[in-house]
Structure 1
C-alpha cells in the first residue's frame, strides 16, 4: 500500500511541510514543521491521523522553526537531520532574527540520521539518504513502494537548492542530486521544500542545473 501524504504550506516562505501517514494504522509523521502549527494541526485533525514523530530534512528556520513546540505539544520524538546540521539548530534564534520569524526553541533531535538509515511511519519504511550541499546535514526520505521522495531543499521543479549559506557547497549539491537521487529512477515523484512536485525523470531531462543536457 502506498504512503499517503498531504502538503501543508507554512511560514512566509511557503515551505512545504508534509504530513505523511500509513493508511493501515493511521499513524503519521510531520516532515519539516517550519511554523504555523495551527495549519499543521488542522490538517492532522482533518485526516484523522495520530502523529508519532517529526522528521526533519534539514534545520533551516522555515523547515525546523516549529519543531520544538510541536514535539512538546504532541509529546513525540524528533528524528533527523544528520548531525552536521546541528550548528543550524543551535542558530535557530539567530535565523529567526534575520528573517523576522518568532524566536523558536533550540532542540536536540532524539535521533540523528545517517546515510543508509531507515525511519518508519506506521507499517511503512522510509530510506534515508544523506544529501549535503544545501546544508551539510541535509537528508532525503525515500519511500520505495510509492516511488516518492521528500527532498527538502536539495532539488526543486526546475531548480536546485541555494548553496550560498554557511557550509553550503554547489559541487556537493550537484553530486547529491546526480549520484544519490537520480539513480532512484525517472518515475520517482518528489515533494520539494518549496513549489510544485515533479519527477526525477523530468528534472533529469529539463532542469537547467542538473539535466543531462545542461551546457
Structure 2
C-alpha cells in the first residue's frame, strides 16, 4: 500500500481584532513556507499560530484595504522582513486612511505601500503553491480574491459570506459591481470550492448559489 500523501496546501483560520476578522494562515506542506492573508491585528496570536504549525512566513497577502484586514500588515511585514502583496491599487483610498480608521475602531492601523499591487489574472506564490488572483470590486474598489485550484479553496475577504454578501454602503462601494464579481468571477470557480470569508464560518459556492438570500440563482433569476 502506498503511503497517504499530504494535501499540497493547508490553512488555519485565526480570528483577529474586536471585529473578529478571519486572518488565514496558509502554507505549502512540501516546503512549510507560508503566508498570512489579512493580518488585521493581534499579532501575538498570529505569531503563535505560525509557531504551532511550524510554518516559516515568507509574505503577507491582503484582500482589501479595510482596517480589520490590513491594519497590522505593515508592522508585521517589517517585523518578519517579508513583502506585502495585494490588494488592487484601487484601494489606495482605504489604505491611506488606516491610521484614522484605526482610531475610530480601536484597532492599530498603519498606512503602507504594498511591494506588489495585484490585478485580475495575476498569480501569487507561497512555497511551491500558486494561487490565482481575481479582482472582485464592490465592497471596496480594489478588493481581490485568492484561489488555489488544486485545493478548491478561495480566500474571499468581505466579498461573500455564509448567507450574506459584503456591505456596499461604505465610500466607493458599489452593489452591482459586487453582484457581478460574485456571479462572474467566483461562481465559475466551481460549486465544490470552499471559501473562507472575512468573518464567520466557511461555506462553499454551491451552498450559497442555493440558499444565499442575496445571490442565490433563484433570487437573481427573479430580478
TM-score bucket of the superposed structures, by smaller chain: over 0.9
Q: What are the equivalent positions in structure 2 for 1:113-192 lying under 5 Å apart? A: 113-192=118-197
Residue 111 of structure 1 is matched in structure 2 by: 116
TM-superposed deviation, 1:105: 2.2
Return the match for 2:208 from 197, 203, 214.
203
Mapped partners of 2:197, 2:115: distance in 1: 24
Distance in 1 (CA, whole Å) between partners of 2:32 and 2:142 is 29
Task: Show CA shifts across 1:45-92 (max 9, x none).
Answer: 001110000000001000001101100110000000000001111110
Query: 1:70 matched to which residue of 2?
Result: 76
Q: For residues 155-197 of structure 1, what are the alpha-carbon distances to aligned partners after superposition, in whole Å with 9 as ceiling and x for unaligned? A: 0000000000110000100000001001111100000000000
Q: How does 1:92-107 map to 2 (within 5 A)?
A: 92-102=98-108, 104-107=109-112
What pairs with 1:2-81 in structure 2 (closer than 5 Å)?
2-81=8-87
CA displacement 1:15-72 (0-9 Å, x = unmatched): 0000000000000000000000000000000011100000000010000011011001
CA contact (8 A) 2:139 2:168 kept: yes
Rg: which structure is higher?
A: 2
Aligned residues: 214
Report the TM-score, using the length of structure 1 for normalisation. 0.98
TM-score of the superposition, structure 2-length normalised? Answer: 0.95
| Alignment partners' CA distance in 1, 2:13 and 2:107 | 21
- Any stretches of 5+ residues in structure 2 without a counterpart? 1-6
Aligned pair partner of 2:97 in 91, 95, 120: 91
| Alpha-carbon distance in structure 2 between the residues aligned to 1:97 and 1:79 | 25
Q: Are the equivalent residues in 1 in contact too, given 2:135–2:145 (CA < 8 A)?
A: yes
Partner of 2:3: none
Alignment RMSD (CA, Å) = 0.7
Distance in 1 between residues matched to 2:47 and 2:145, nearest whole Å: 23
Q: Could you tell me how far apart the structure 1 residues matched to 2:110 and 2:16 are? A: 18
